[in-house]
Structure 1
Amino acid sequence: MPTARPDSETSLRYLRQVQFAALGTEGQKRLARARVLVCGCGALGTMVANHLVRAGVGYVRLVDRDLVDLSNLHRQCLFDEQDAHQELPKAVAAAEKLQSINSEVRVEPIVADIRSDTIGALARDIDLLVDGTDNFETRFLLNDYAIREKIPWVFAACLGAQGQVMVILPGETPCLRCLIPTLPPAGAVPTCETAGILGPTVGVVASLEAMEALKILAGRHEAVTRDLIVVNLWPVTLRQISLAGLRDPLCPTCGQGRFEFLEHRRESTSVTLCGRKTVQVTPAEGRCDLDEIYNRWSALGEVERSPYFLRLRTPDWTLTLFPDGRALITGIEDPVLGRTIYARFVGM
C-alpha cells in the first residue's frame, strides 16, 4: 500500500507539473484520483507506466504474461540485468521499480494473458486503457471492450524507427476498427523480433502516448489530439493525419455494436498437445505468406524450409509454422508462453 506523505512533500513532488497552467492544481487532483490499466509491460508499457506513476496517477494496474529477458533491456526501461537473470515476471519487476519511484501511488501487478475471458476482471473500475501490447488481436479486443464500456483508450505501436499513436474516445472519435477494419493475417505485420526496434523510438512514442493519457485523466479533453500521430526517427519526420470523417457507421464495433473479439468469435487459441511437450497455436485469421516470413527469420537462427511448413530452431524450442497460420512449438508445455512466442516471431 502507498505510504502517506505530508501535504508539503506531495506538493513539492508535483510542483513543476502543477506550474504548467494547462494542468494546474485541479488537473493534478484528478490525476491522483485516476485509475489506469497498462496493457502489456514491454517497451511501450514500461515507459508509459513510468511517466504515469511519476506524474502522480493514483492507481496503475500492470498486466503482462511474459518474463524479463536480456534482449528486453535496451528498450524496456524499468528492467535490469538482475530481473533478467531471475526471469521475473515483467509486471512484478515493473511494479517493484515503480513503487520505489513513487510510494504515493498504488501499483498493482497482474501476471496474466489479456483475453476475452479475462479483460472484464482486469479492466474493472478503470478510467483509461493504455496500449502496451505487441499484437493486433489484443488491440482489437481492447477496442471492443473500450467501446462497449465507454472507456477511453490510447492505441500505440512502434517498430524499427517508426511509431503511431491514436486516442479513442468512445462516442466522439473513430475507433481502431474505423482505421484498421480487419485483423491483419498471421505473419502479415513484421514484429520487433524480426524487424528490430530502436530504444529511442519507444521513448518518443511512449511519451506521446503518456501525454495523451495525462490529458484525458486530468479532464482536459479539449487538448486531446484527435489525429493519428505518425513518427519516424530515421530520418526524422512527424505527421498528424486527420481522422475527421473516418468514423464509420458501418464499422462493426463503434458503428454496429458488434464485439467479435470480446465475444469469443474472433480469437486465437493455444493448447498443449496431449502426451507431447508441444503447444499448438491457431490464429484468429488464417493463412500466412511463408516466403515473406522465411526472409524475416533467416537472420534469427536455423530455419528449415519445405513446401509445407517453415521451421525455426532455437536452443529452447522449435517453432513449425504451416501455411494456414497454425504453429506447433515443441519444447514447451505452457499455452501462454506459446502465444507469447507466436506473437513475437510470427505476429498476431
Structure 2
Amino acid sequence: MDYFKRYSRQMLFSPIGEVGQKKFSQSRALIVGMGALGTAIANHLVRAGFGYIRIVDRDYVEKSNLQRQMLFDEEDVAAALPKTVAAKNKLTKMNSAVEIEAITADVNPSNITEFIDSMDFVMDGTDNFSTRFLLNDACFKNKIPFVYGGAVSSRGMTALFIPDETPCLRCFIQGGEGTTGETCDTIGVISPIVDIIASYQVTEIMKYIAGDHEKLHRSLMTMDIWQNHSYAMKFASPKKGCPTCQTNEYPSLKTGVMQDITSLCGRETIQIQLESHFDLKEWAEKLEKTTKVKKTPFLLKAQLEEGERLVLFPDGRVLVQGTEDSGRAKALYARYIGM
C-alpha cells in the first residue's frame, strides 16, 4: 500500500502507470559525478523509485559547491565529507526503499568496467570530456544506454545515446580526450540550467525504461536560458569511421592503466595517484610534524607551509590544491609523500 501511495501521482501519468513504475523499481543506474548535474539526477531517480543507484565521485564537499549542488549543506562542508557519502546520507532519507551504493573513487580505464557491471544505464554527471568519452566508449562496448549532459554558464547540452540504435557522443563532439572546453570553475554557472539539463536527462531515461521509445527525443539538445536560445540537432547516421560506434575501437578504453597525474580543469588542483592505499591515521602522524593536519574518516587534509594543500584519500589518491603546475605538484608530492 505504501508503494502505491508514494508513487501514486507518478503512476497516474498514463505513459508510466503501474507497469512503468515496476520497471523503474527493477532498474539499476550508475551516476558518475556527484556534482551539480549528478546530485540533481540522483534526486530525481531516487524520488521516482529507481531500485538501485550506484554513485561514484572522487571529490569532497566544499563551500563553493552549495550554490548549485542540491544534496549538500554547510554541515557537509564542515565535516569535509566525500560527495558520495554526503549524497547517500540525503538520498537514503528521501527514499529508504532505494538501494544506494556510494563509491569514492576516480573513474578511469582500469575500473570503469567494474563500475558499469550489472547496470542498466549510465548517467553523466561529470565535468570533463575525458571522462565522458570514457563513459561513452564503455557504454557502447557493453551495450548500455549513456545519458550525456553538460552545463556551464547559462548553457547546457544533453542527449540519450543508445548502442546499435543511435550515433554516439564521438559522432557529435570532436577532440577526443584532448577536449577541455569551458567549465563552471572558469566562467561560472547558474543553477537553473543545471536543473533543466538534469531533468531532460532523467526524463529521457524514464521514457526509455518505461518502454515509450517513440517519444524519445533522439537529438542532441542545446540551450542557453539566459540568451533565450535553444536548438535540437536531430540524430542522423553515425559518423563514418567513428572509432566507438562504427569500428568498435573504443579508444578511451585503450589508454592503459589510470593516469598517474591529472589536472582537474579550472580548479587549481592536480590529482596524483602513485599508491593503491593510504592509512590515513599513519599519514596524519607523519604529516602533522611539518604541516597543519585535519583528518576525517574519509580523507586527510594537510596545509603546507608553501601555501598549497594536500588531500589524501584511502584509495591512494592525492589532490595537490593551489597549483595548476604539474611539475610543482610532483615536487610537493615528492617532498611530503615521496616518489
TM (norm. structure 1) is: 0.77
| Structure 1 residue 265 displacement after superposition | 5.3
Q: Quote the residue 1:299 is aligned against.
A: none
Cα deviations by residue, 1:196-239 (Å, 9 ceiling, x for unpaired): 01111111111111111211222222222101111111122322
Q: Quote the residue 2:253 is aligned against.
A: 262
Tell me the amino acid that sits aligned with residue 52 of structure 2: Y
SS in 1 for 2:21: helix
8 A Cα contact 1:62 1:109, kept in partner: yes
Of the three residues 78, 85, 100, the one matched with 2:78 is 85
Structure 1 residue runs without a partner (length 5+): 1-7, 272-277, 283-312, 335-348
Q: What RMSD, in angstroms, separates the aligned Cα atoms of the two structures?
A: 2.4
Give matches, 1:299-314, under 5 Å: none
TM (norm. structure 2) is: 0.79
Of the three residues 292, 300, 319, the one matched with 2:323 is 319
Cα deviations by residue, 1:97-135 (Å, 9 ceiling, x for unpaired): 001000111111011111011111111100000000111
Aligned residue pairs, count: 285
Q: Quote the residue 1:119 is aligned against.
A: 112
Q: Quote the residue 2:337 is aligned against.
A: none
Q: Quote the residue 2:196 is aligned against.
A: 204
Aligned pair 1:27/2:20, yes or no?
Answer: yes
8 A Cα contact 1:156 1:166, kept in partner: yes
Pair 90,34 (structure 1): closer, same or farther in 2 beyond 3 Å: same
CA distance in 2, matches of 1:64, 1:11: 33
SS in 1 for 2:254: coil
Q: Quote the residue 2:181 is aligned against.
A: 189
CA distance in 2, matches of 1:280, 1:59: 30
Aligned pair 1:178/2:182, yes or no?
Answer: no
Cα deviations by residue, 1:175-198 (Å, 9 ceiling, x for unpaired): 001112322636x51111111011
Bigger mean CA deviation after superposition, 128-137 or 260-269 = 260-269
CA distance in 1, matches of 2:110, 2:177: 22
Structure 2 residue runs without a partner (length 5+): 263-268, 274-305, 310-320, 335-339
Q: Quote the residue 1:308 is aligned against.
A: none
Aligned pair 1:11/2:15, yes or no?
Answer: no
8 A Cα contact 1:128 1:151, kept in partner: yes
Cα deviations by residue, 1:59-105 (Å, 9 ceiling, x for unpaired): 01000000000000010000000001101000111011001000111
Give matches, 1:1-348, under 5 Å: 8-183=1-176, 185=178, 188-245=180-237, 247-264=238-255, 268-270=259-261, 316=309, 317-321=321-325, 328-329=328-329, 333=333
| Structure 1 residue 260 displacement after superposition | 1.4
8 A Cα contact 2:57 2:84, kept in partner: yes
8 A Cα contact 2:270 2:324, kept in partner: no
| Structure 1 residue 281 displacement after superposition | 6.6
CA distance in 2, matches of 1:75, 1:332: 32
CA distance in 1, matches of 2:328, 2:235: 40
8 A Cα contact 1:159 1:196, kept in partner: yes
